[in-house]
Amino acid sequence: MNQGRKISGGKYHPLRKKKKFERLRQDRVVILRETKRKILRVKGGNTKAVLLSSDEANVYNPKTKKTTKIKIKNVIETPQNVFLARQNRLMKSSVIETSLGKARITNRPSQEGHVNATLIDEK
């Protein structure tokens, strides 16, 4: 049977419209470019800084136990989808190339407004 229809063929009508927080927003895609942020108003009148594009990351080195801000050279691989790495998209668990070596992104840049990564041991 057709989705959203009664057995008799009549329509189901919604009881109310969607509230603002229930409405879908446009997907935020973080790309490797000059850093650009946007401030959004969220529920409760609070604000959230979201990232639109970035060319630098806070890279943690587990051997020295120090974090440094470094430029991102390239996106090497993205486990979610092979084609996203070709588009240089920055997302959680993507492997990026930096001057220190390969690093894996550990946060969600589209939600948090910055890129955090950890160096990967290359064996």
- What domains does the chain contain, in order, with CATH numbers? 20-119 (3.10.290.70)
Q: State pLDDT tens for residues 25-70.
A: 888 899 999 999 999 998 899 999 999 999 999 999 999 999 999 9
Model pTM?
A: 0.81
Q: State pLDDT tens for residues 78-117.
A: 999 999 999 999 999 999 999 999 999 999 999 999 999 9
pLDDT value, residue 1: 46
Helix (H, G, I), strand (E, B) or coil at 19: coil
Whether the CB-CB separation of 2 and 60 falls below 8 Å is answered with no
123 pLDDT band, cuts 50/70/90, is low
